[in-house]
Amino acid sequence: MKRRQVLNVVFILWLLSFNQLDAQKLQSDNKNGTYTNPLIFADFPDPDVIRVGNTYYMVTTTMFIFPGVTILKSNDLVNWEYCNNAVPRMDFSPCYNLENGNRYAHGQWATSFKYNKGKFYLLFITLDEGGFICSTTKPESTWEIKRLPRGFYDPGLFFDEDGKIYVAHGYETIEITELDSNFIAKGKDVEVFKGDLAKGLEGTHLYKLNGYYYLYSTYGGPNGFQVALRSKNIYGPYEEKVVIRDTEGQNKGIHQGALIKTQTGEWWTILFIDNGPFGRMPSLQPVTWKDDWPIVGVNGKGVVTYKKPNVGKDYPVKVLPTSDEFNNPKLGMQWGWNHNPDSTKWSLTQNRGSLRLLTVKVTNNLRDALNTLTQRIFGYYSTSTPTIATTKINTDKMIEGDLAGLAVFQDPYAYIGIKKKNGLKYIIMVNNGTTIDSLAINKSTVYLQARVAYGIGKASFLYSLDNRLFLKVGDELSMKFNLSVFTGNKFSLFNYATKSIGGFVDFDWFRVKGEVNKLK
């Protein structure tokens, strides 16, 4: 073959490799001045976003996952990184410890994010414990959390120019309540608007712009849409306008979020879309103003690929982390425990370079197992690219009845694991509580893998003894987004006892990648 032909072949192979990598990208930034929605291809619902100086901060809902109340930060509204998890744990009910119940589909709900006079505030509600206010002078540092005498459903906190503090809140009927400096109601709730376009007006954020008070609200659900209400008086009367109602395609039902103004005077909104088993994902949409009304999207539709916001300069692409070698003595912020963890039963230092999970209590159900470590499943910007998670696990110290492994967790859930039974170890695959397959192994170190196909909503499970040849076990999980859990499906590492506590396993690493070919 002539040298020119060789060079052409090398170039084509390089180009194909580049295109495959590009198809597997995990970030919305297209590196050409545009971005593609969803803004983050993972479960970051109920966003509220503020700008302080040149930094944008976003808070989202994490419910029963702790550390929780995840805060992200960005310089350009497109490239986000973890900033903090504002609430390390919830100690306001034993249910957060999976005692006398649980908090699936409960816990922290839609949070209001505000900055006022040098201080950051987060106001949220839990359906069972009521209202909470968190505050700090630096979002990356420790947040003070205080329980309030009462909660406000889907609160929209607001600091007015005259020093008064208000909260907009409610479901179907929106009310305004004045608060004192301790965020306690000063008087009665005042009804200001009753939803009249559909069921379930909620998710209200409160702003003051152009002499108007704006209630930026949603009629929620998979067919949701966004409205703005405005009045010259905070207590109304309010007039209403639909600002986006996208009924088809990727942005179908886009709703609930925040209005943001850039340093250059542009207006944007971050709302979310219900995106199947992976959860509810944020979407960045342009905003134009017409007759003092915010209009979202372009020609009544949400944008998919669009020019990036003008924030005065360009910033580098950032990708939120997923893989973890467990070499750091502190867990990465992508991880969260299913309910409060028992801090004495896990370690990153007892066997450096590994995550050690000790059994906590005896149970026969993954849903009730403490110290299950989870992270959001990220999709790739290609529907044919499955997300593949692999972990290396050492099982030397398992005892009779112990069960450890890798799950895809929602309702239903499924996992591949190792169970010690009658002194032997077995690879098992469990689909929603039913054991589908089981086979004996004679090695202590095993590689477990979960392959999740976003495009078809399926997950399959495999194992390997050498990290090269992976064998499928059991059947496929048909993934769902079930309101009984109310978060997107999550990868989960677990170890629990069915007989007695005392055993442990070491996870050496957890690695996530994508493949171009469809999952078979």
Environment class of 43 (CB within 10 Å of its CB; exposed 0-12, middle 13-18, buried 19+):
buried
Handedness of CA 264, 241, 285, 204 (dihedral sign): positive
Structure pTM? 0.93
What residues form DSSP beta bridges with 357? 346, 505
- Report how far residue 427's alpha carbon sits from residue 442's, in angstroms, rounded to the nearest whole number: 10
Query: Could you give the dihedral angle defined by the CA atoms of residues 477, 481, 482 and 488, in that order, rounded to the nearest 10 degrees?
Result: 100
Residue 519 covered by a domain: no
**Quick check: 220 and 198 in contact, CB under 8 A?**
no
Q: Is 46 a catalytic residue?
A: yes
Residues 450 and 341 in one domain: yes
- Domains of the chain: total: 2
pLDDT at 14: 30
Within this chain, do residues 258 and 397 fall inside the same structural domain, yes or no?
A: no
- State yes or no: cis peptide before 286, omega within 30 of 0: no
What confidence tier does 114 reach under pLDDT thresholds 50, 70, 90?
Answer: very high
pLDDT at 454: 87
Residue 14 lies in a domain: no
Q: Is 453 domain-assigned?
A: yes
Q: What is the pLDDT of residues 186-203, one digit of tens each?
A: 989 999 999 999 999 999
Position 52 scores a pLDDT of 98
**Are 427 and 464 within one domain?**
yes
HSE-CB at 485 with a 13 A cutoff on CA atoms is 23
Rounded to whole angstroms, the Cα distance separating 457 from 453 reads 6
Rounded-to-integer distance, Cα 444 and Cα 195, Å: 60
d(CA 280, CA 220): 12
Q: What is the pLDDT of residue 474?
A: 97
d(CA 395, CA 507): 9
pLDDT band for position 221 (cuts 50, 70, 90): confident
Task: Give a yes or no: residue 468 inside a domain.
Answer: yes
With respect to residue 3, please indicate whether it lies within any of the assigned structural domains: no
- Mean residue pLDDT of the chain comes to 93
pLDDT, residue 515, reads: 76
**10 Å Cβ neighbour count for 319?**
13
Count of CB atoms situated within 10 Å of the CB of 42:
24
- What CATH number does the domain containing 416 carry? 2.60.120.200
Each residue's pLDDT tens digit, 161-182: 999 999 999 999 999 999 999 9
Q: Which residues contact 12 (CB under 8 A, 6 or more apart)?
A: none
**Taking a C-beta distance cutoff of 8 angstroms, is the pair 513, 379 a contact?**
no
The answer to whether the CB of 123 falls within 8 A of the CB of 132 is yes
**Same domain, residue pair 382 and 507:** yes
- For the segment 275-279, the average pLDDT, to the nearest whole number, is 94
Q: Do 174 and 264 reside in the same domain of the chain?
A: yes
> What pLDDT, on a 0 to 100 scale, did the predictor assign at position 382?
77
Contacts for 430-438 with beta carbons within 8 Å, 24 or more apart? 430/366, 430/474, 431/474, 431/475, 431/477, 432/477, 433/365, 436/473, 436/474, 436/475, 437/473, 437/474, 437/475
pLDDT digit string (tens) for 455-465? 899 999 999 99
- Segment 119-163, tens digit of pLDDT: 999 999 999 999 999 999 999 999 999 999 999 999 999 999 999
Confidence band of 468 (pLDDT split at 50, 70, 90): very high
Claim to verify: residue 295 and residue 373 sit in the same structural domain: no
Going by pLDDT thresholds of 50, 70 and 90, the confidence category of residue 9 is very low
The last residue of one of the domains, among 307, 325, 345, is 307
How much of the chain, in percent, has pLDDT values that exceed 70? Answer: 94
| AA letter at 395 | T
**DSSP code at position 162:** T
**Which of 511, 520, 498, 411 lies closest to 102, judged by CA?**
411
- Other C-beta atoms closer than 10 Å to the C-beta of 92 total 14
289 and 226 assigned to the same domain:
yes
Confidence grade of residue 10 (pLDDT, cut at 50, 70, 90): very low
Contact 185, 164 (CB under 8 A): no
User: Which domain, by its residues, includes 199?
Assistant: 32-307
Same domain, 407 and 301: no
In a domain, residue 5? The reply is no
Report the Cα–Cα distance between both ends of the chain, in Å, rounded: 37
- What is the C-alpha to C-alpha distance for residues 372 and 92, in angstroms, rounded to an integer? 20
Asked if pLDDT for residue 519 goes beyond 60, the answer is no
Which H helix or E strand runs over 20?
A: helix 3-23
64/111 same-domain check? yes
For residue 105, tell me if it sits in a domain: yes
* Cα 52 from chain centre: 23
Measured CA to CA, the distance from residue 487 to residue 105 in angstroms comes to: 7
Is 278 within 8 Å of 381 (Cβ atoms)? no
Q: Are residues 162 and 275 in the same domain?
A: yes
Catalytic hit among 202, 274, 402, 506 = 202
Specify which residues 241 forms β-bridges with. 228
Dist. CA 394–CA 140, nearest whole Å: 34
- Answer whether residue 324 is part of any domain: no
**H/E stretch holding 453:** strand 445-453
Question: Are 349 and 410 contained in the same domain?
Answer: yes
Under 8 Å CB-to-CB from 16, ≥6 apart: which residues?
none
Q: How confident is the model at residue 15 (pLDDT cuts 50, 70, 90)?
A: very low
**CATH number where 277 lies:** 2.115.10.20
Considering the candidates 43, 46, 175, 274, report the single residue annotated as catalytic. 46
- Whether 268 and 390 map to the same domain: the answer is no
pLDDT reported for residue 17: 34
Look at residue 273 and tell me whether its pLDDT is greater than 70.
yes
Q: How far apart are CA 477 and CA 450, in angstroms?
A: 10
